[in-house]
Amino acid sequence: MAYEEITRQLLVHGGPILTMTPERPVVDAALFQFGKVVATGSMHDIEPFRTGSVESVDLQGRLATPGLNDAHAHIMMTGFAQAQIPLAAPHVVSVAEIKLAVAARAATTAPGSWIVGQGYDQASLIEQRHPNRTDLDEVAPHHPVFLWRSCHHIAVANSKALNLAGIE
């Protein structure tokens, strides 16, 4: 790779650019080099910082924002999922298949031990509904059962699990 390619700068201009800084939240141009911001402001403001080869991106009035990264992770959930029943589409497409998977796990799990599954999405199921307490009670009446939806913000539990939680 040529030295000029390595040292090339990137100029973004021609539309509002969000800087996420209180001093100058929106600028007209931004200059980058080596993955870092060299200068922001107007085209006039950044001119003294331009060196060598400059690649230009004209926003044509469109908005540019910094890369938005989701800085939180569910590392523990990823680890726990290895021991849970996988219920995600496309290999699970119905409440009936969820019930079969829970029944299979119940057959190899000591009564009273938890059965946990994760990954179902009611919108991907033939029935277009969540599994419910009655569905789970039918196939695992002697185990507490807890199934996470794919988002991990919704779950369903059977009667045994609800009783253990003090919910009648």
| Distance in angstroms (rounded) separating the CA atoms of residues 166 and 146 | 15
Please say if the pLDDT value at position 142 is more than 60.
Answer: yes
CATH topology of domain 75-164: Diaminopimelate Epimerase; Chain A, domain 1 (3.10.310)
- How does DSSP classify residue 133? H
pLDDT at position 6, please? 57
CATH topology of domain 3-58: Urease, subunit C; domain 1 (2.30.40)
pLDDT at position 94, please? 97
Query: Which residues of the chain are in CATH 2.30.40.10 domains?
Result: 3-58
With 0.85 as the threshold, say if the pTM is over it: no
Question: pLDDT, tens digit, for every residue of 58-90?
Answer: 999 999 998 877 767 777 877 888 899 999 988
Q: Which residues pair with 143 in a beta bridge?
A: none
Secondary structure of 91-107 as H, E, C letters: CCCCHHHHHHHHHHHHH
More confident residue, 166 or 4: 166
